[in-house]
Chain A
């Protein structure tokens, strides 16, 4: 077996750059939850199926249980916590509440992060296309219709300004 030494990676998490010592075999999910205490990133299936650990890595949604921490070196991670500073995302979250787009709420951070990515890319997204874009996250309570309504309703906030 190879000798494992701790590597120091620099990670910009929700706007704050941090130096973190990680092992080569460490998952980004573990780094975020255990070392940085970011609990909106949920650990559920551990095999890239449920999507509850979705974060934005350099603006692109990835499943953090399928990403090595060393891979993310020098990159920017945004989680649901980091979206509070974005006015549009705040409205999106309010829209989730308004439409009752959650039952247990376990999948909500992942849906917020993913739909924020989708809407900031294309706020005029077609309904069928939107359903496809969100198929990476599973809601076991089955509130998909409410989530769809919430995201559709929040489209208008994303249309006003382009840059994030």
Chain B
């Protein structure tokens, strides 16, 4: 016996499964405004069950091989948007060159879903708790976006423009995530969950110690993650690490303006982001 209420079923749509990127882009152009792109599909299927999205066509990118590759080029590490969270965690290149992302991928949903969740899908849903974007911003990465006509590049911080809203046009998809290669990288990603596993705050730190540079991004507080670097955190490389961490976490808690909702109050989120900042910096720079 089957449930028929909206919550359990999907609205009617036509399923399209292109096998090349060109085919997918021309389908998107043809059905502009009527079609939704499906990457992993977790968010899309849930929103469709709730009837928040009712597309006429669903274009599944799962068969497109060129979106599933991880390449090292002159521009840096180029990650296809359909690379799954499990592949990110298992890839030698990602673990070595993008440790922040490898760790963030271990928080994208539970272990079973991580076989399905894709990096491109994770960042484009634009929910505050998406782990991919926080990590990518700390690594200063760029996104390659394609439509049938043009190809453009945006910085990862330009993707999210509001709660659940991204800056992609209706006929565009994210094809690649490009992480610049800066050598000698160290990074971590911390996520603080409440009892029902909803994120209170997330912190991503990526440091290039040889260049005396690092970036710290605090996510899950507001629609857009907060970006900090060693300058905005007044990091003084001559002073002891513990003094720096104390100052940096104070700056973070003074700067962020978290939302208040059923999950957590603004004050609580602020406090947690301060604690997480200190923990993450301790993990990367050591100190007592």
- Give chain A's interface residues, CB within 8 Å of chain B: 1-4, 7, 23-27, 30, 33-34, 43, 46-48, 51, 54, 60-63, 66-68, 70-71, 114, 132-137
Contact = CB atoms under 8 A, between A and B. Distances in A.
B60 A71 contact: yes
Contacts of A2: 12-14, 56-57
A4 B112 contact: no
Contacts of B8: 43, 46
Contact of B7 (A46, A66, A114): A46
Given A1-B56, A2-B57, A71-B60, A61 B10 contact: no
3 tightest A-B CB contacts, nearest first: A136-B112, A2-B14, A136-B110
A47 to B, nearest CB: 5
A48 B113 contact: yes
Contact of B10 (A27, A47, A133): A27
Interface string B49-63: 100000011101010
B12 to A, nearest CB: 5
Contacts of A4: 12-14
A24 B106 CA distance: 31
Interface residues of B, number: 31
A24 B14 contact: yes
B10 A25 contact: yes
Contact of A54 (B2, B13, B45, B112): B112
B261 to A, nearest CB: 19
Nearest to A54: B112
B11 A66 contact: no
A1 B11 CA distance: 10
Given A1-B56, A34-B2, A66-B42, A51 B110 contact: yes
Interface of B: 1-3, 7-15, 17, 41-42, 45-46, 49, 56-58, 60, 62, 106, 109-113, 115-116
A60 B87 CA distance: 13
Contact of B13 (A25, A46, A67): A25
A24 B2 contact: no
A134 B110 CA distance: 9
Contacts of B41: 66-68
A61 B115 CA distance: 7
A133 B111 contact: yes
Given A4-B14, A51-B110, A71-B62, 17 more contacts: A1-B13, A2-B56, A24-B12, A24-B14, A24-B15, A24-B58, A34-B1, A43-B8, A46-B7, A46-B8, A46-B49, A60-B115, A61-B112, A66-B46, A68-B60, A132-B106, A132-B111
A26 B8 CA distance: 11
Contacts of A27: 9-10
A63 B10 contact: no
A72 B46 CA distance: 18
A25 B111 contact: no
Contacts of A137: 112
Contacts of B106: 132
Contacts of B58: 24
16 contacts: A4-B12, A23-B12, A24-B13, A25-B12, A46-B8, A48-B109, A51-B112, A54-B112, A61-B112, A62-B112, A63-B116, A66-B42, A66-B45, A66-B46, A67-B41, A70-B17
Nearest to A26: B10
A39 to B, nearest CB: 11
Nearest to A51: B112
